[in-house]
Amino acid sequence: MKNYKFPKDFMFGGAAASTQYEGAYDQDGKGLCVADFKTYNPNLDRKDTKLNWLEMSTEEYLKNKNNNDGIFPFRWGIDFYNNYEEDFKLFKKVGLNTFRTSISWSRIIPKSDGVVNDLAIQHYKRIFECAKKHNIKLVLTLSHYDYPIWLLEEYNGFLNKQSINKFLEYCKVVFNEFKEYTTYWIGFNEINLTLHSSYTGAGFTIDENDPNRLEKLYNAVHNQFVAQALCVKLAKEINPENKVGSMNAASHSYAASPDPKDALANLKYSQINKWFFYDVIADGKYPKYMWKYFAFNNIKLDYNEEELKILSNNTVDYISFSYYSSCLNKFIDNSTNLVKYETGIKNKFLESTEWGWDIDPIGIRIFMNELYYKYKKPLMIVENGIGVDEKWDVNNDTLNDTYRIEYLKNHLKNILLAIYEDGVECIGYTMWTAIDLVSMSSKEMSKRYGLIFVNIDDFGKGDKSRKIKESGKWFKLMSDSNGSKLW
- Point out the residues that are catalytic: 190, 383
359 in Cβ contact with 288 (< 8 Å): no
Helix (H) / strand (E) element for 309: namely helix 305-313
Helix, strand or coil, per DSSP, at residue 37? helix
**DSSP assignment letter at 36:** G
Query: 309: Cβ–Cβ under 8 A, 6 or more apart, which residues?
Result: none
Q: What is the DSSP letter of 33?
A: B
Nearest alpha carbon to residue 444 among 34, 38, 30, 14: 38
Angle at 137 between CA 134 and CA 138, to 5 degrees: 120
Distance CA 225, CA 132 (A): 32
What's phi and psi for 374, nearest 5 deg? -80, -40
Report d(CA 434, CA 452) in Å as an integer.
Answer: 6
Q: Are 109 and 116 in contact (CB under 8 A)?
A: yes
If you write DSSP's letter for every residue of 195-239 in order, what string do you get?
GT-HHHHHS----TT-TTHHHHHHHHHHHHHHHHHHHHHHHHHH-
Q: How far is CA 486 from CA 10, 18, 91, 364, 411, in A?
A: 16, 31, 20, 16, 10
Q: Is 477 exposed, middle or buried (0-12, 13-18, 19+ CB in 10 A)?
A: exposed
178 secondary structure, DSSP code: T
Length of the chain: 487
Task: Give, as one character, the DSSP assignment of residue 70.
Answer: S
Q: Are 330 and 257 in contact (CB under 8 A)?
A: yes
Is the separation of the CB atoms in 183 and 235 below 8 Å? no
Inter-residue contact 164 to 227 (CB < 8 Å): yes
| Cis amide leading into 398 (omega within 30) | no
CB 105 within 8 A of CB 148: yes
